[in-house]
Chain A
Amino acid sequence: MNRWRLRHLSTRGLLYVGAILLALQAAFPFFWMVSTSFKPPTEVFAQPPSFIPNDPTWDNFHRLFTATGFLTYFRNSLIVSGLAVLLTMVVSAAGAYSLTRYQYLGREKIAGLILCTYMFAPIMVVIPFFILVKKMGIENTHFALVLAFTSFCLPFTLWLMRAFFKTIPLQLEEAALVDGAGRVRAVIHVILPLALPGIIATSIFTFILAWNDYIFTRILITSDELKTLPVGVQDLFHSALIDWGLIMAAGMMITIPALLFFVAVQRYLIRGWGAGAVKG
């Protein structure tokens, strides 16, 4: 075996080790969560702790769906996060495009200002935000939540998208424009494919940020029917007749759909989506 092959194999080996470690560190707590959600109460604290439940039960899930408002919360979370992602991505994609492709007075200053507004700790912004929302008369509505999520997602999505857009060479659009395509077509056929991984990544982050928000939902929403998952889970946790199995079941039901979605979507984070365009 020559040196090159040995090197290649050992690199490959290291790669697999790295991948396995990566998967393990994320999966281990996840599987622990899954395992506990199937355990009956008496087994939860059993020593030695068992990875695979000795006496698995669906009871926790049954109670989660029937005795709590979980399904309502799930639906609400989906609606609000989905709308927030839509609004944020459209606005920030346009904004990022503007910040990287157009020239106008104060462009960089605007970017800087947006960044500045971001440096105020969200926890302190909540109360005046609530007052603002109250003045607008939209407290306790999903609309207010979507606005709240947008307000704390937009600055970062703008900056992230701006960074991704900057990596796309300007020559590409120029070439398209020279060929006679309108700017819109240039964007759709040239920029979008190259920006897709960036757009997907940013959408995922926006979704997660909105999906996991706690404090804004807690303060802005009062009605049980409008609550989202994090608030619902937190209440379950504090209900003091706490049910570890129930909480873990809730955790599982929150993450599995999202995980499945990501398995589907991560396909688009592949090389080659935009690489071809550079040659052309």
Chain B
Amino acid sequence: MRNLLRWLVTDADRRAIESELAELYEVRRREDGDAQAASWLRRQRSAYVRKLMAERLRGAISGATSSLPHLGRDLAYSVRSLIRTPGLAATIVLTVGLGLGATTAMVSVVRSVLVSPLPYADASSIYWLYTDNPPFRFRFSLVDYRALEADHPALSEVAAYTSSRVTITDAGSADRVNAKQVTGSYFPLMRQTPALGRLFDVTDDARNERVAVLTHAYWTRSFAADPTVLGRALTLDGASYTIVGVLERSDGPLERDLALFTMQQWAVPKRKGPFLWMVLGRLKPGVPLSAAAETLRATNARLFPVWKSSYQDEKATWGLQDLQSRVVGTVGSTLMLVLAAVGCVLLIACANAVNLLIARALGRSRELAIRGALGASRGRLLQHLLAETAVLTGGAAVVGAAVAAGAIALVTGYGAGYIPRVDEVRLSGPALLWLAALAAASGLIIGLVPAIHSARLKMNRALAAGGRSGGEARPARRMRRLLVAAEFALATPLLVAAALVTVSLDKLARVDVGLDTDRILTAAVSLSGRYPTEAARAAFWTRTLDRLAALPGVDAVALSDSRPPREAGQRNNFDLIDKPTPPGQNQPTSPWVGVSLGFFKAAGLSLQRGSLFDQSSLQQDVVLVDRAWANRFFPGEDVVGRRLRNGGCTTCDPTTVIGVVDNVKWVGLDATEDGTVYFPFVDMPNAYLVLRTGGDPAGLANGVRQAMKELDPELAVSNIATGSELVDGALATPRYLSVVVGMFGIAALILSIVGIHGVMAHFVQQHTRDLGIRLALGGDPGAMRRMVILQGVALVGVGVAVGTTAALLSMQLMSSVLFGVSANDPRILAGIPVALLLVAVAACALPARRAARLDPATILRES
């Protein structure tokens, strides 16, 4: 309390308060006893602080209100005076504006993506239900969903859906769109309403009709919002569906890029797998999450024995995760990192602005002293300086709003592929309020420090100095140096982060995908139900492979159900006959890639051991594995001839490994290589074409499109991409991060260089006379140069040391976005500080040279 009182009242008053309190305490003690008096004393002490602070605030408010008439005049004067120093004004407005805009944009992104609830009614009670088989979380099987549908005591509703790309055909043209097959309970669970017609409900499950509901976006885009669309027929993958309704307009992540919903027509399952169903549930009000998880596990445990013959992984159970965190995924850490980066840039920009304004205030000390001598009170002078800051931060806020609008447009456009919910980001009212609050806070930081320093200037001294140097006060000098050190302290972790993400990107770009990406073209083809039998599909794919192989420039062609580096079709669990999974443990899993017989030749994968697939493989239960798989399960042993049972099936025939091929990255460039299993297929409903060429693979695209059109004009070829484009796509997120953090790192570095150069140049200017005298007395110009550089480097050194410590402590938070480089990489943690010190030497070189080249005779004559 004493410390606070010291700040609130004069020393004399504080002594009187303490003494009088003690006196009254004695009275209380005599009347009420020790305990009550002690409690009274505590209350009185806190009442003093509280009431005095309130009194201060009241005084400040009434003071501000009473001086309002001067405000307009001050603002006008400030604008005129800033126009006279356009360089300084522009630097502050632009740098602080850039920091404000970037921070506002990132705050908007973080708010929309991470904080705002999903745009569904009572969204916080919607949960994603998953099969929990640590470390994996995957979807439900239909068997599981049906069991959950019948028994879900903790959930008020459950619904399931599958997503797919479907082909809508209309008068000879084919359109590939995204669709969801949903249960009747889906729309009631989401609490969604129709814009037109009706949505599905639980009665639709029993009717088994082919009906569809359009999304508002698709209805507007493809049907020009035609209200007569209801009842119209739509051909989806060759089957006719009736449009029964249009969903209300929705920006939700579950409707993103979606054209329509169809009513599910899933056949009754005969075995537990596959696990393709997304399941949602609404938690009953008042049920704790832990209790809901417990009931899910219990339902699952009751179900397990029923399907044990086709799924024997007893440890796999069900779990639930709130839909919002499921939708946002792992992007949170990246966004927070970028937000921290822009926050640092804003702080550095503010520190720089403070530095420039202190220098300006020192340069104007005589003007302020004259105004003071003519009767302006300190409060008036302070108000005038704050008005100047208000003009600057007002300008910065305008620049900030423009930067924020631009940055949000960039992020929503460029980040649409990998930032979930980014289409919900807007420069909205709350975002502009944020901007205003940030601008006000920045204005306080920028304005108060120089203003307080100006107010402390000794007027007599300033007047006596005749405005030549103004005599930089020691606190001002200390503050300016502190600010420069702080700028470097903030820039260091930012540059360390930029270096880390850049090295990480470089390592990722150098990852060997395993395929000859420069010579490969891929494209997705969906048979869209046009070839209903296995034989028809096999015949079509054989015709396709023959036709494409005949295209000029094509060396080899094949099919696969997956596409590297991150589109693995499915992952399967399995049990090795030679090394069975011990009871109570999870079965191992691997990506399970279906390929046509010629895939390995087309992809350029060489055989390491055993043999590749041939025609007979299609009739046998055989697989190929890669080197990583062989090393994982049979290190140092021969893997050819080993047998396994996949999918948890205990009664199926075992599958035999017939060969080992090179490794390929199927589940992400940054994924650890834990092995892939290849199985032969010729009758898949959807597949990727893989074409190998001796020339430029992109040149094959038109030929492939034309050939497919000739084979079947109703089929849509989509997602045509060369191997290099696929790798580029996988690098988009890390590249985005490294460009953004790198940009902010460079901005921070430039601002810090401006800061240190400004301080040292000002130092030389302030000490021109002292330096001149030293030189006149025979001082060594080299020593002068060294002194200036050493002073600057010492200053930067302190900042860099603090910044490096901060980087060391905080970089662990970056681990999740790094690949192939440790967050505490010693080369980066040592290299960046050294580089910064060298930059500081370079920034101080110019003022140092000026100091060494001063002409003592001229200086002494002038003074």
The answer to whether A and B belong to the same complex is no
- Could you list which residues of chain A lie within 8 angstroms of chain B, going by C-beta atoms? none
